[in-house]
Structure 1
Amino acid sequence: MTMPSTLAMGRSRGFVEVLQLIRQKDAVIFTFAFPALLTILLGLIFDAPVSPGSPTTHSQVFAAGMIAYGILSTAFISMGVGIAVDREDGTLKRLRGTPVTAGAYFIGKIVLVFFAALFEVLLLLLVGVLLFDLPVFLSVDRWLRFGWLLVLSVVACTLLGIAASSLARSARSAPAVLNLPVLVLQFTSGIFVHIAALPSAMVNVSALFPVKWMGQGFRSVFLPDALAAQEVAGSWEPGKTALVLGAWCLIGLVLSLLTFRWSRR
């Protein structure tokens, strides 16, 4: 009897993961609502034009950049916590006794995150359009940029979440362990604070991580090209953004394979 391929097992595992998420209504509401709520709060607090006479407001800048936080929250945090829970409650141990490989398990998690991230991004776009007039009638070129940004961001954050799950010694400690670096990077990468207001040394350190490039990339999709002058390099740098996020996809894959464990230490 021929065993199904890793890709086929991953698709089946992804379907199971999506069903499990949908059945946990409280988790669905919290996962999707929290980034949207932060976007509303930040947008309402900082609603002035970015410069005198500019048609673009700080609210629109935050709404565009917060898509990066939504993906990070959905992929990195939810993934790391979910795997810690699977490891502690014995789900991974039971899966190890089946033909499911680590690669199939990873694919299933990526399917789950893409499903959740799409709904998260749609909700954030809805908030941005309805409350802050975020422009969405964009050129084909910008929507293509949005597409590859979404794919690279989701894959990188998912794989890094898988790797980071090994840092938590238990499912109870996982949220605290994973939220700390995420919270710090939101402030130092120009998501919660305008990138132009940050010290250069802080931005240079944050540029080593994917969050800064995710925020800059999504701002480049929805904001006028004139605002690129307020970025650190004075431009949107789409090519460099793709290279950095692609590199983090590879780094995340290597770290996941090196650190993933089926059971607790």
Structure 2
Amino acid sequence: MSTTTTRPATAPATAVRSNPVKLGLRQGGLEIRQFLRSRESVVFTMGFPVIMILIFAAIFSDEIAPGVSYTQYFITGMIATGLMTVSFQNLGIWIPIERDRGVLKRYRGTPMPKWVYFVGKIIMVIAIGIAETVILLAVSVALFDLELPATAQKWWTFGWVAVLGITACTLCGIAMSSLARTSRSGSAVITPVALILQFISGVFFVFTSLPGWMQQVAAIFPLKWMCQGLRSVFLPESFGATEPGGSFELGRVALVLGIWCVVGLVLCLGTFRWTTKRDG
């Protein structure tokens, strides 16, 4: 991560009485600019999924089912991983850095409403998530013949899976940020969790080829259901029969992701800290 000093990404105090929408958009713009200033974050968040697709496409060329190549299957998982990275992993690492440097403490001392800080983070996550997804889709269509959804219903499914998934991951990332005691420990806490979830959720391997106990563990967490929901969008309907439940189970996808949104919100409300323990 970048070692440059992070300045509070907050709107000036004179804008406290401004329109709430303007406050949120202003904060979101500041968060996006701060993210883009960190070359490490930009390269890892935006470039890593594309690099992984290129590597896996060069290694695996077999079909895992009639009309479904391994690359096409892997692409759906990387889209889900990209959304998780920009939300869960990015927030879980950067919020402890801001807390340790006193950014959050200074923010709490300003007259700005506290919700503005979180709205700014959400806007940043949405903006970067959309940009990353567009890049992944463009690369996949251009190089690997990925077929984009042909019906409005499939685009609708793509939309709600992405929205519920990124909401759950954002809330969980904010909640997990409180586990890191220092700025340096944020990456050590979050990155292993993200990597383990990727390995057991059907991102790098075909989900049904994993051990049964591993599938059951993965089914507890959002990433598995994000991947499954996206497979229903980009892979043939017939592929649903190969899923563990015999179909894409979109109703269950929505239910689990919705539950995680509620769980993440409860955890955020109960665990988020503006200061480190040494600050009191």
Query: How far apart, CA to CA, are the structure 2 residues paired with 1:166 and 1:96?
Result: 16
What is the match of residue 68 of structure 1?
Answer: 80
* Alignment match, 2:234: 222
Q: Does 1:241 align with 2:253?
A: yes
Equivalent residue letter for 2:30: V
CA–CA distance in 1 between the matches of 2:175 and 2:246?
33
Deviations 1:110-138 (A, max 9, x none): 11100110111111112221222110152
> What's 2:34 paired with?
20
The CA distance in 2 between the partners of 1:258 and 1:137, in whole Å, is: 40
Pick from 84, 93, 116: which aligns with 1:81? 93
Q: Distance in 2 between matches of 1:97 and 1:169?
A: 21
Q: Choose from 33, 36, 46 the match for 1:32.
A: 46
Q: Give the CA RMSD over aligned residues.
A: 1.7
> Structure 2: which amino acid aligns with 1:109?
K
- Residues 7 and 104, structure 1, Cα contact 8 Å, conserved in 2: no
Shift of 1:245: 0.8
Residue 11 of structure 2 corresponds to none
2:155/2:233 contact within 8 Å kept: yes
TM-score (norm 2): 0.89
Q: Which amino acid aligns with 1:50?
A: I
Give me the whole-angstrom Cα distance separating, in 1, the residues matched to 2:175 and 2:21: 20
Contact 2:46/2:132 (CA < 8 Å) preserved in 1? yes
Partner Cα separation in structure 1 for residue 23 and residue 268 of structure 2: 18
- For 1:90-101, list aligned pairs within 5 A: 90-101=102-113
When residues 159 and 8 of structure 1 are mapped into structure 2, their CA distance, relative to the original with a 3 A threshold, is farther
Matching residue of 1:42: 56
TM-score, reference length from structure 1: 0.93
Unaligned runs of 5+ in 1: none
Q: Match of 1:256, SS?
A: helix
1:190 CA displacement: 0.9
Residues 100, 243 of structure 1: CA spacing in aligned structure 2 closer, same or farther, 3 A cutoff?
farther
Dislocated runs of 4+, deviation >6 Å: none
| Residue ranges of structure 2 left out of the alignment (5+ in a row) | 1-13
- Aligned partners of 1:73, 1:221: CA distance in 2, in Å? 21
1:107 maps to a residue whose letter is V
Alignment check: 8 A CA contact 1:7 1:107 kept: no
One-letter code aligned to 1:202 = M
Structure 2 CA distance for aligned equivalents of residues 80 and 233 of structure 1: 32
1:21 Cα deviation after fit? 1.8
Tell me the alpha carbon deviations over residues 182-202 of structure 1, each in whole angstroms, 9 at most, x when there is no partner: 111111111111011011221
**How many residues matched?**
263
